[in-house]
Amino acid sequence: MYEKYFAELNDNQKLAVSSPEQTLIVLAGAGSGKTRVLTHRVAWLSEQCAVSPYSILAVTFTNKAAAEMRSRIEQLLGFPAHGLWIGTFHGLAHRLLRAHWQQARLEQHFQILDSDDQFRLIKRLLKANNIDDTMWPPKQVQWFINNKKDEGLRAKDLSYHSDNYNNTLINIYELYQTACDQSSLVDFSELLLRCYELLQQNTDVLNHYQQRFSHILVDEFQDTNTIQYAWLKLLATESTCLTIVGDDDQSIYGWRGAKVENIYRFQRDYPNPQIIKLEQNYRSTGNILNAANAVIANNDRLGKNLWTSGHDGEKITLYAAFNEIDEARFIAARIKDWCEQAGCRREIAILYRSNAQSRIIEETLLQSNIAYRVYGGFRFFERAEIKDALAYLRLLVNRNDDAAFERVVNTPTRGIGERTLSELRDHARSQFQSLWQAASFLVKQSHFSARANNALQTFLTLIDSMQQRTADLTLDDQIGLVIQMSRLVNAYEKEGSEKAHARIENLDELINAAAQYSNEDSDMTPLDGFLSYAVLESGETQGQADEDCVHLMTLHSAKGLEFPLVFMTGVEEELFPHQRSSEDLQRLQEERRLCYVGITRAMQKLYLTYAEYRRLHGRIDLHHPSRFIKEIPDDLVDEVRPKTTITKPFGHNIKQRSLRPSASSQQHSLGFRIGQTISHPKFGEGVILNFEGQGSQTKVQVQFADTGLKWLVAAYANLTAV
Ligand code: ATP
Ligand code: MG
Band (pLDDT 50/70/90 cuts) for residue 2 is confident
CB 8 less than 6 A from any atom of ligand 1: yes
Candidates 114, 150, 220, 476; catalytic one? 220
Known catalytic residue: 14? no
Alpha-carbon span 248 to 256, nearest angstrom: 16
Q: Give a three-class secondary structure readout of 658-703.
A: CCCCCHHHHECCCCCECCCEEEECCCEEEEEEEEECCHHHCEEEEE
How high does pLDDT run on average in the chain? 88
Q: What is the pLDDT of residues 589-624, one digit of tens each?
A: 999 999 999 999 999 999 999 999 888 766 778 888
Using CA positions, which residue lies closest to atom 13 of ligand 1? 33
Using CA positions, which residue lies closest to atom 9 of ligand 1? 33
Known catalytic residue: 219? yes
CA atoms within 13 A on the CB side of 393: 30
H-run or E-run covering 476: helix 475-486
* Ligand 1 atom at shortest distance from the alpha carbon of 10: 27
Q: Which of 6, 40, 249, 283 most suits a substitution to test ligand 1, by most atoms within 8 Å of the C-beta? A: 283
Alpha-carbon span 639 to 376, nearest angstrom: 31
For 350-364, 496-510, 534-548, which range has the lowest pLDDT when averaged over its residues?
Answer: 534-548
Candidates 13, 34, 88, 190; catalytic one? 34
pLDDT of residue 561: 93
Using CA positions, which residue lies closest to atom 26 of ligand 1? 9
CB 560 less than 6 A from any atom of ligand 1: yes
For 140-154, 314-328, 551-565, 644-658, which range has the lowest pLDDT when averaged over its residues?
Answer: 644-658
CB 30 less than 6 A from any atom of ligand 1: yes
Instruction: Determine the average pLDDT of the residues in 644-659.
Output: 34
Strand partners, 673: 667
CB 209 less than 6 A from any atom of ligand 1: no
Band (pLDDT 50/70/90 cuts) for residue 539 is low
Q: Is the pTM of this model over 0.75?
A: yes
Ligand nearest to the CA of residue 284, numbered in listed order: 1
Known catalytic residue: 641? no
Distance from residue 29's CA to the centre of ligand 2 (Å) = 9
pLDDT of residue 377: 56
Q: 534 or 434: whose pLDDT is higher?
A: 434
Distance from residue 206's CA to the centre of ligand 2 (Å) = 29
Alpha-carbon span 162 to 179, nearest angstrom: 26
Q: What is the pLDDT of residues 459-488, one digit of tens each?
A: 999 999 999 999 999 999 999 999 999 999
Distance from residue 430's CA to the centre of ligand 1 (Å) = 58
- The answer to whether 569 and 327 are in contact (CB under 8 A) is yes
For 10-19, 55-64, 387-396, 534-543, which range has the lowest pLDDT when averaged over its residues?
Answer: 534-543
Which are the contacts of 650, defined by CB distance < 8 A and separation ≥ 6?
661, 665, 666, 674
Please give the sequence-ordered ranges of beta strands (E in DSSP) within 21-162, or none if there are none. Answer: 23-28, 56-60, 85-88, 111-113
Please give the sequence-ordered ranges of beta strands (E in DSSP) within 89-180, or none if there are none. Answer: 111-113
pLDDT of residue 154: 97
Ligand nearest to the CA of residue 40, numbered in listed order: 1
Known catalytic residue: 605? no
pLDDT of residue 608: 98
Q: Does position 664 have pLDDT exceeding 50, yes or no?
A: no
Q: What is the pLDDT of residues 393-447, one digit of tens each?
A: 999 999 999 999 999 999 999 999 999 999 999 999 999 899 999 999 999 999 9
Q: What is the pLDDT of residues 71-107, one digit of tens each?
A: 999 999 998 888 999 999 999 999 999 999 999 999 9
Interior/surface letters 95-129, b for 16+ CB within 10 angstroms, e for the rest? bbbbbbbebbebbebbbbbbeebbeebbbbbbeee
Band (pLDDT 50/70/90 cuts) for residue 195 is very high
Distance from residue 598's CA to the centre of ligand 2 (Å) = 13
Distance from residue 150's CA to the centre of ligand 2 (Å) = 24
Q: How large a percentage of the chain has pLDDT more than 90?
A: 62
Which are the contacts of 204, defined by CB distance < 8 A and separation ≥ 6?
none
pLDDT of residue 649: 34
Residues listed for the chain: 722
What's the gap between Cα 526 and its chain centre? 25
Ligand nearest to the CA of residue 5, numbered in listed order: 1
Band (pLDDT 50/70/90 cuts) for residue 216 is very high
CB 601 less than 6 A from any atom of ligand 1: no
Q: Does position 302 have pLDDT exceeding 90, yes or no?
A: no
Q: How large a percentage of the chain has pLDDT more than 70?
A: 93
Q: What is the pLDDT of residues 340-386, one digit of tens each?
A: 999 999 999 999 998 888 888 988 998 899 999 888 655 677 788 98
Using CA positions, which residue lies closest to atom 15 of ligand 1? 283
Using CA positions, which residue lies closest to atom 27 of ligand 1? 9
Known catalytic residue: 677? no
CB 31 less than 6 A from any atom of ligand 1: yes
pLDDT of residue 695: 67
For 221-230, 251-260, 587-596, which range has the lowest pLDDT when averaged over its residues?
Answer: 251-260
Distance from residue 263's CA to the centre of ligand 1 (Å) = 21
pLDDT of residue 62: 85
Candidates 243, 250, 285, 589; catalytic one? 250
Q: Does position 149 have pLDDT exceeding 80, yes or no?
A: yes
Alpha-carbon span 178 to 432, nearest angstrom: 10
Q: Does position 680 have pLDDT exceeding 70, yes or no?
A: yes
* Ligand 1 atom at shortest distance from the alpha carbon of 30: 2
Distance from residue 61's CA to the centre of ligand 2 (Å) = 10
DSSP reduced 3-state for 12: helix
Query: Residue 457 phi/psi, 5° resolution?
Result: -60, -40
Known catalytic residue: 520? no
Strands 348-352 and 550-554: parallel
CB 35 less than 6 A from any atom of ligand 1: yes
pLDDT of residue 652: 30
CA dist 200 → 150, 195, 221, 232, 299 (Å): 16, 8, 22, 11, 38
Ligand nearest to the CA of residue 26, numbered in listed order: 1
Candidates 219, 324, 326, 388; catalytic one? 219
Fill in the amino acid letter for 405: F
pLDDT of residue 660: 32
Candidates 601, 614, 627, 673; catalytic one? 601
CB 282 less than 6 A from any atom of ligand 1: yes
Q: Does position 161 have pLDDT exceeding 60, yes or no?
A: yes
Transcribe 426-464 into DSSP letters.
HHHHHHT--HHHHHHHHHHTT-S-HHHHHHHHHHHHHHH
pLDDT of residue 190: 97
Q: Is 138 exposed, middle or buried (0-12, 13-18, 19+ CB in 10 A)?
A: buried
